[in-house]
Amino acid sequence: MISIDLAGRTALVTGGSGGLGRAMSETLAAAGAEVAVHYRKGQEEAEAVVRNIEKAGGKARAFAADISDPEAVEQLLSNVERAFGGLDILINNAGMDGPHALVGDDDPQAWEKVIAVDLLGPYYCARAAISRMEKKKHGVIVNVTSVHEFIPWEGYSAYTSAKAGLSMFTKTLAQETADKGIRVVALAPGAIKTPINQSVWDDPESLKDLDKKISMGRLGKPEEVAAVVAFLASDLASYITGTTLAVDGGMLIYPDFRHGG
């Protein structure tokens, strides 16, 4: 029998208080990891995740920080280290898509904010994590990108640019840290049924249009993405680094082309 075993390891999940992050935090804990649940806003939600983990027999704590601030990130990692004794797994999940606007009609400050959270944030977190992981000669960093590291998305150029940048950062960082015992992997979710896109799956017409873009014909569940995160963080994935794994129900195989070009 093969099972995912993260016992004795500490994981930090950024944006761990809701949606995908909540599922990731609870799944990692179910696999045996002690989990640091990060949040920027929503302390009550983060503490609810911690309670759920503790009720299931796991160990978790909530930590607040602005990941777009490098000093705040360093303090976050120090707090996690003091609370749990170290860090073995970093899940760079926190992100935002920003307001819809075409280039030229957009607000440069809003564009820069998306880059700060979605690209600089993972960079700051990874940078702080590596200095701790290399002491153990072991660690895993999972950067959550999106199918939009591959697929353009009109009106969201900051988001797509950040996710594509995070993909190449993943590859470069994996190259830099492979001889230090650190693996770096990207995970690209497709359309997942989370509160952030409820306006889409609550609207029958929008949902019908979206389902046409997915080969499997349905939205994914947060738990389906979280299970892959746990696998990538485990020794079962010990020979995987520097690549992106898409969890998208077949969105990237262009289902519209199944009946011809």
Sign of CA dihedral 22, 25, 28, 29: negative
Catalytic residue among 123, 159, 239, 254: 159
Query: What are the pLDDT tens digits along the chain (261 aa)?
Result: 899 999 999 999 999 998 999 999 999 999 999 999 999 998 999 999 999 999 999 999 999 999 999 999 999 999 999 999 999 999 999 999 999 999 999 999 999 999 999 999 999 999 999 999 999 999 999 999 999 999 999 999 999 999 999 999 999 999 999 999 999 999 999 999 987 777 777 778 877 888 789 999 999 999 999 999 999 999 999 999 999 999 999 999 998 887 766
Is 156 an active-site residue?
no
Residue with tokens 């969890």: 247
Q: Which domains does the chain have, with CATH numbers?
A: 10-247 (3.40.50.720)
* Cα–Cα distance, 82 to 85 (Å, whole number): 5
Q: Can you list the positions of beta strands (E) in 2-131?
A: 10-13, 34-39, 60-64, 89-92
Q: Which helix (H) or strand (E) holds 245?
A: strand 244-247
Q: Residue 196 has what pLDDT?
A: 73
Q: Can you list the positions of beta strands (E) in 78-236?
A: 89-92, 139-144, 182-189
* Cα–Cα distance, 65 to 259 (Å, whole number): 48
Q: Which helix (H) or strand (E) holds 133?
A: helix 121-136
User: What three-state secondary structure class fits 43?
Assistant: helix
Written as one letter, the residue type at 18 is G
* Cα–Cα distance, 38 to 10 (Å, whole number): 13
Residues across the chain: 261
